[in-house]
Amino acid sequence: METDNSKGHEITRLFHISHGGNNLHVGFILKIVEEMKLAWCPETAAKAYIDTVELCGVCNDSGIAELVSSMAAGWNASFIVEAWSHGGGTATSMGLTVACRHTNGRHVCIVPDERSRLEYVKVLEVAGMSPEVIVGEPEELMSGLNGIDFLVVDSQQNRFSRVLKLAKLSNKGAVMVCKNTNSRSASSFSWRNVVYDGSHWLIRSIFLPVGEGLDIAHVGSCAGNSSSREGKRRWIKLVNRRTGDEFAIRK
C-alpha cells in the first residue's frame, strides 16, 4: 500500500524531473494532496501541469492555471464546470481544458452573455481549443448540470456563493475552487454555508496564496460514502463543540 510519504516523494520526483522544479508549486501541490486527503494520480497531475505551463507561459493567471489543471487531472475529474465573465483571464480555462484531455472528461464554461461568449471562444480558439460554452446566469443553469466533480468560480462575481450552493455535485464527491479570494468581500462566505445540503458535506478546505488567492474545498458525498456493502468504509462527521470546527474521519 502506498503511504502518504511515498506518494509525496513520487509527486515531488515527477514534478521536478518534468518541470525543472518549481519548488513553490510542488509545495502547494503536496499540501493539497496531504491535507485534503484526495484520491490522486501523480503522473496525470504532473502531465497536466507541464502541458499547461507550456501552453500558457507567463501570464496574469500564472501559477493558478497550472495548479488548477494539476488538481483537476490528478483528481481524475470527469465533469469540470467553470463560471466566467467578460474581462476575466482565460489561462485557468486553458488549464482546465488541458486537464480534460488527460482525463477524457468534459469541461463546460458558463458565461453570462453573448459578449462574454464571443470573447471567451475567440481567445481559446487561438490556443487551438474548442470550448463548450453555455450562456446564462450560472445559478440558473446549475440545475441542469448534474454530476459535477470539479467546479471553479471567481469570488469577484456576484452571487458566486449561490453558484457553489446550487451545484449538482457528483456522487463520488467534488473539488470546488474559488479564485481571487483576497479581493472577496470579507467574511460572510463560509464553505459550511454552501456545502451542507443533506447529500454533500465538507471534508477539508485550504487556502493557497497563489495569484489573488485560491480557496479550495474537498466535498464528500453522503450517498457515495454511506454504502452498506461489505468492505466499504464510510465518512464520519465530528464536531468540536468548543470551537465549532467540523472534520471527517473514515471508519
* Residue-wise pLDDT tens digits, 90-147: 999 999 999 999 999 999 999 999 999 999 999 999 989 998 999 999 999 998 999 9
- Say what the pLDDT of residue 180 is: 87
Residue where the block lists cell 464510510: 234
For the chain, percent of residues with pLDDT exceeding 70:
67
Q: Is residue 158 part of a domain?
A: yes
CA-wise closest residue to 138 among 170, 172, 161, 106? 161
Confidence label for 1 from pLDDT (cuts 50, 70 and 90):
very low
Helix axes 64-74, 23-36, angle to 10 degrees: 40
Q: Is residue 44 part of a domain?
A: yes
Model confidence at 3: pLDDT above 60: no
Tell me how far CA of residue 201 lies from CA of 116, 130, 131, 178, 221, in angstroms.
Answer: 32, 34, 30, 17, 7
Q: State which residues form the domain around 131.
A: 4-219
The continuous run of DSSP H or E covering 65 comes out as helix 64-74
Domain total of the chain = 1
Q: Is residue 43 part of a domain?
A: yes
C-alpha grid cell for residue 36? 485534503
CATH number for the domain including 102?
Answer: 3.40.50.150
Q: Is residue 192 part of a domain?
A: yes
Do β-strands 246-250 and 235-239 pair in parallel, antiparallel, or remain unpaired? Answer: antiparallel
Return the higher-pLDDT residue of 250 and 206. 206
C-alpha grid cell for residue 177? 475552487
Q: If you average pLDDT over residues 55-65, what whole number do you get?
A: 69
Q: Is residue 210 part of a domain?
A: yes
The continuous run of DSSP H or E covering 165 comes out as helix 160-166
Q: Is residue 246 part of a domain?
A: no
Model confidence at 61: pLDDT above 60: no
Q: Is residue 241 part of a domain?
A: no
Residue 61 in contact with residue 87, Cβ under 8 Å?
no
- Say what the pLDDT of residue 9 is: 54
DSSP code for 58: S
Query: How many CA atoms does the CB half-sphere of 112 hold within 13 Å?
Result: 13
Q: Is residue 154 part of a domain?
A: yes
- Say what the pLDDT of residue 39 is: 73
